[in-house]
Structure 1
Amino acid sequence: MGNFGHLSFVICHLSFVICHLSFVICHLSFVLCPLSFVVWELGIGNWELRIGVPNSSLSPPALP
């Protein structure tokens, strides 16, 4: 019975670790998503404005 108790403890601990890791990954995605948006707006947006490309990356640049 002792081995079964240890095994159930290990399985419970592993499930807790997996749940914690998924929470950490979810939290990081919530942090990185706005951060990447800010970096995109500050870096790529200003770069597009500097070279005169319209701010929308979906529209192709107008031909002269």
Structure 2
Amino acid sequence: KGVYNGKWFANGEVIESISPATGEVIAEVVQGNTEDYNTCVVEARKAWNTWADIPAPKRGEIVRQIGVALREK
């Protein structure tokens, strides 16, 4: 499944992801289709419009907080 704007989407067929090193199946994933792509583009545009309206110093603080959270993991 894919996540766009906090919503899960899965419309394509399930395919196996195979490790090139071992030939073993390491995961099953849903292959995106045109509908998934179009949904992703619409949701990305909404997110961009929201992000662009946030003042640059606040965006910088958000990005800094994300960096801190990633380092804590």
TM-score, normalised on structure 1?
0.36
Larger RCO: 1 or 2 (CA < 8 Å, sep 6+): 2
In terms of Rg, which structure is larger? 1
